[in-house]
Amino acid sequence: MIEIRTDSVEETVDIGTKLGSLLEKGDIICLSGNLGTGKTAFTNGIAAALGIEGYITSPTFTIVNEYKGRLPLYHFDVYRIADPEEMFEIGFEEYTDGNGVVVIEWPEQIQDILPAERIWVEIKKDLAAGVDTRIITIEFKGKKYSEYEKHWKG
Amino acid sequence: MSDLIVLGIESSCDETSAAVVKNGRVVMSNVISSQVDLHQKFGGVVPEIASRKHVELIMPVINQSLEEAGVNMHEIDVVGVTYGPGLVGALLVGLSAAKGLAFALNKPLVGVHHIEGHIAANYLEHPDLEPPFICLVASGGHSHIVYVESYNRFEIMGQTRDDAAGEAFDKIARAIGLGYPGGPLVDKAACQGNCEAIPFPRVRFGEGSMDFSFSGLKTAVLNYLHNMEQKGEKVNIEDVAASFQQAVVDVLVENTLKAAKLKDVKKIALAGGVAANSLLRNQLKSRAEKLNFGVFYPRPILCTDNAAMIACAAFYEYQNGSRAGLELNAVPGLKLGEK
């Protein structure tokens, strides 16, 4: 597990970019954190590393936004999903078995259907240190992803 | 000229909707799944996750739209359908139904961009409204300032770089415990509050830009709530709602006026769910009318996702020669103006 402290939105974006540069097709990144912690900002960083141009906008309303880059990015926000069953109706498996990177905000909502191997990112505020300070923990679960952890620590 | 009847179909997100519109301007029916009682169509059994059950809803909704309009399937001249942007699984349901109908009835099929539909809602409300005008399209999923040059030509002048305006309302409503959907609830609470109580930030990107950012505003509200909690002070929910709403409306109105001046148009229109917000309507109206712009907006039911607006947009696309083949596919990330 890796723990990083960031003191601005830009630094949070940069950590996303660092993670994004390690990613390959079929990778799943779960992004946990409260409202306003910077999940979409972090995803912007991942997108930059995937060569995606333009802004990554929040998928809260649309559930998933798709972007074309070096690898396609499927950016989910499953906050509005009441029952994991609903994910199958919107073709979730086709995304996770697909050719791109899957980022899922509010992954706790669909805990039951998430694969055991995944990258779990948690973003927490550290208000004692400052309003923009975040503690980001990245947990690489599974064999494939533990290789990423080695690369990260380089 | 004989009448041209368009069947419109919309299923890009939560709503399943079908509508019949005559000559692009007369709504003969507009059936929206969440607005009508379709219980008996399921024999009394309503699926728990009905909001996403487009497959089960699509045919009952289409049938009801024809019934309410008093037309039979063969009287339909054109089938118009949303093919993007939206959820691919949701879009495909409406699209497949539209293709099936167009093929079986041997009628032309027209693909419509969802935002183009929202803009067209204004034509249904105001029979005399014609382009060019500037349209602010603000909803849960979109925040765009669009220059509507003609019925078929659009230019995006500004858009959000993070959260959509409607989404900001939902998230703030969630944070201050007002519930869902956030838009109407924040609007209502704000009426009792002081919009100058808390100086929340207005994000602007300089003279040349009409883009929006609401993520920083959301964070500012959350930080304010946290600070109050730390200090043990009671939060005045109404003041938070009013101050937040004012901050959103200020930038929406400013950027829209900026675009209208730049394009030297005479008219400004609102569209999308946020167009139902009372402060946005009032402030845009008073500020724009001082500058001699005419202001237009649809009634609330035409601001939500509905198929009448899709049928209207399809009418103008059809008039312009647009015809889709049966190979028309759903395009989740469809950009406005792209074909």
Q: Is B84 on the interface with A (CB under 8 A)?
A: no
Whether the model pTM is above 0.80: yes
Domain ranges of chain A: 2-153
pLDDT classification of B233: cutoffs 50, 70, 90 = very high
Q: Pick the residue of B51, B54, B57, B88 with the most A CBs within 10 A to test the interface with A by mutation.
A: B88
Q: A2-153 has which fold?
A: Rossmann fold (3.40.50)
**Residue range B61-85, pLDDT digits in tens:** 999 999 999 999 999 999 999 999 9
Cα distance between residue B19 and residue B112, in whole Å? 14
Taking only residues 67 to 96 of chain A, the set having a beta carbon closer than 8 angstroms to any beta carbon of chain B reads 67-68, 82-83, 85-86, 89-91
Q: Output the DSSP codes for B104-170.
A: HHT--EEEEEHHHHHHHHHHHH-TT--S-EEEEEESSS-EEEEEE-SSS-EEEEEEBSSS-HHHHHH
CB atoms within 10 A of CB B207: 6
* pLDDT score at B14: 82
State residue B44's pLDDT score.
37
Radius of gyration of the CA atoms of chain B, in A: 21
The shortest CB-CB distance from A63 to any of B87, B161, B164 is to B87
Instruction: Name the residue among B196, B189, B284, B279 with its Cα closest to residue B238.
Output: B189
Type of residue numbered B173:
A
Across the interface, whether the CB atoms of A66 and B333 are under 8 A apart is answered: yes
- pLDDT beyond 80 at B202: yes
The average pLDDT across B208-228 equals: 94
pLDDT score recorded for residue B232: 95
Find the CB nearest B226 among A57, A65, A127: A127
Contact list, A84 vs chain B (CB under 8 Å) = none
Residue B46 has pLDDT above 50, yes or no: no
**Residue A3, min C-alpha distance to chain B (Å):** 23
Question: Can you give the length of chain B in residues?
Answer: 339
Q: Which two tokens stand for residue B275?
A: 């167009």
Which tens digits make up the pLDDT trace of A115-146? 999 999 999 999 889 889 999 999 999 999 99
Question: Which ipTM did the prediction report?
Answer: 0.84
Q: How far is residue A76's CA from residue B225's CA, in Å, rounded to a whole number?
A: 27
Q: CB of B241 within 8 A of CB of B190? A: yes
DSSP assignment of A1-15 equals -EEEEESSHHHHHHH
Helix (H, G, I), strand (E, B) or coil at A76: strand
- Residues of chain B with pLDDT > 70, as a percent, come to 94
pLDDT at B118 over 50: yes
Contact (CB<8Å) A61/B166? yes
**Which domains, ranges and CATH numbers included, belong to chain B?**
5-119+303-319 (3.30.420.40), 131-298 (3.30.420.40)
Give the pLDDT mean for A68-95. Answer: 88
A-chain CB neighbours of B230 within 8 Å are 127
Nearest to B238 by CA among B179, B270, B171, B190: B190
Mean pLDDT for chain B overall: 92
- Rounded to a whole number of angstroms, the distance from the CA of A11 to the nearest CA of chain B is 15
Contact indicator for B163, B138 with CB cutoff of 8 Å: no
